[in-house]
Amino acid sequence: MILARIILGLLDLAPMSGYDLKRHFDTTINHFWSADRAQIYRTLARLVDDGLATVETVAGAKAPDRHEHRITERGRAALREWLTSELDRQPERDAFLARLFFAGSLDDAELAGLLARHRAAAREQLDALEAIRASTPPPADRRARLRITTLNCGLARARAELDWLDEITEELT
């Protein structure tokens, strides 16, 4: 459901093939959503079925043919409707917290290792986001500002995570 909306949002920025979409999911969009290739192609087919997008086969000059997808008026309406619809709270799901919750049977060294490994991953995540932001030009229009805003959210979360980790690593000596 949400994936379909996100794809509509991306198609609203520019016409794209499934491959282009996959690249967005792996880069620009990555800090708040990701998707598998198979899933993207299936969703695209459904969007076309539902009349929210159209396909056009573009013969590739120096590459295989692309199926370029374009958002339709109905697609734009659906996107708008999603943006203004009620927020559905999504359930929290955190595999690391799950481990930590049940880590009572680990000894001190094992627990410290668990925390250290998670900290390294969190640090990496933060660095990656900072790198992206550093290479992003200052926002020109509103869309660009919103894009940076979502990045900043990722940054804020990553920093909070690191702070919390430092705090509890001390606490659980």
Partner DNA sequence: ATCTCCTATGCGACTTGTCTACTAGTCTCG
Partner DNA sequence: CGAGACTAGTAGACAAGTCGCATAGGAGAT
Least Cα distance to 129 among 148, 111, 103, 106 occurs for 148
Interaction of residue 93 with DNA, rule CB under 7 A: yes
Which C-beta is closer to DNA: that of 91 or that of 137? 91
Structure tokens at 39: 């899933």
SS3 (DSSP) at 85: coil
Compute, in degrees rounded to 10, the torsion defined by CA atoms 94, 25, 81, 84. 50
Q: Which stretch binds a second copy (CB under 8 A): 39-47, 53-61, 63-71, 85-93?
A: 85-93
Which residue matches tokens 């001390």?
170
At CB < 8 A and 24+ separation, what contacts does 51-55 make? 51/75, 52/4, 52/8, 52/78, 53/8, 53/11
Binder of residue 67, out of a second copy, DNA, none (CB less than 5 to 8 A by kind): DNA
Shortest distance in whole angstroms from residue 46 CB to DNA: 7
Binder of residue 66, out of DNA, a second copy, none (CB less than 5 to 8 A by kind): DNA
Binder of residue 38, out of a second copy, DNA, none (CB less than 5 to 8 A by kind): DNA
Binding-site ranges for a second copy (CB under 8 A): 2, 5-6, 9, 12, 29-34, 79-80, 82-84, 86-106, 110, 113-114, 117-118, 121, 125, 141-143, 145-147, 149-150, 152-154, 156-157, 159-161, 163-164, 168, 171-172
